[in-house]
Structure 1
Amino acid sequence: KVPRLFTAGIASFYEGYYANKGINIVKGTVASGFSTNSNGEVTEVKLKDGRTLEADIVIVGVGGRPIISLFKGQVEEEKGGLKTDAFFKTSVPDVYAIGDVATFPMKLYNDMRRVEHVDHARKSAEQAVKAIKAAEEGNSIPEYDYLPYFYSRAFDLSWQFYGDNVGETVMFGDNDPKSPKPKFGSYWIKEGKVVGAFVEGGTPEENQAIAKVARAQPSVESLDVLAKEGLSFATKI
């Protein structure tokens, strides 16, 4: 999610911040293999461009795809997941799918989506259990109405993102990696409306404010006005 979410402006802050911590980010190539010693312990990482990096430990973060092959030809699929309704019911009676294997109707965007995040995993599980319980009792519950949410915490940094990262972007705030307390953010604007919001270093109230903005999708006069107002645009919604 991070490469798709981070704009060039956001990425340059984190690259600068990590570089100031002594972390060397190698770009423009990928790992192609490893060298090991006689004990089978890794000693080097081989890069595709021919370089090698000495290594004591290697952490591989390559993402993953949900394994749905188990249900091939038995349950309806869509967009790489098991297709469900707004209660996480699949095409097979009494079979529910939750978390990142589920492709569900995202009410906010009138679109079928699959979301890979712990927040959605928990909330979709809750929705499915409530739906099953309600069905047993002959009752109904509201449809799932999820607002996409992603976050990360590292060192003394903490960012949150809500909504959809589509359209044009506007940056605001202090994104100098050398700042003692950097606080900056970005809005995503589609068809004159704010559809997504990101903030680094936000207070709990400011994080709630950008969540509110992403759900309300308010109209904006211009990108310049939005850049100037920054977080105050969100806090007054």
Structure 2
Amino acid sequence: MARDLFSRYIWLIDTIRRYGSLTRDEINRLWMKSPYSNGEPLPRRTFYTYRNAIEELFKINIECNPSTFEYYIEQSNDHYESVMNWLLNSASIGNLLNDAHDIADSIFLENVPSAREFLSITVDSLKEHRPMKFDYHPYTRLNPTRDIVLEPYFLKIFKQRWYVTGRNVKEDVIKTYALDRMSEATLLPSVYEVPEDFDAEAYFRDSYGIIFDEGEVKHVAVRTDS
């Protein structure tokens, strides 16, 4: 039941985002065509319950325009918006594919190996400010580096792979690691603090993917003919 409720929240968010703004009647008509309605309308009380749950769970506000009685999603800051868009898009695709068992042979997906095993522990490390310890298997060496202790600063996805960037405690250097090259990852009991002057967006603003370079940024103008 909890999973079904989560899917309903995602449906409501995704529907309002897709259309921009909708009245209760318009939401109801779309709801009755969804796989969650059983052909029945969405009761007003249930709609408000879902609306409150979405605000609490996702920090997404579904507001109502008093002049048109249309519901819309309040805009947040650009970075938070991009993260939530990614999460909601992933959840929406998951909901869609769960209802597509009969055409599974006609859907081909790209594997994202790093998301399965170590993404959750890395997120916990970021949330709790607890260092991670893990073995690392670089692409360029056969033998792994043992017992790396990392204080994660941020996560980044690039070309379907997750990477974590933070301070390598032993070397006292900021480094980036691919989650799918880790093994034996655990959280340590100690607590760390991200430096106040560290700006994650500024750190990779002028970088390509996960290649971070402290060299001088060059602005290049390209001239072409018609």
After TM superposition, is the score higher than 0.5? no
Higher strand share: 1
Q: Name which structure has the greater RCO, CA cutoff 8 Å, separation 6+.
A: 2
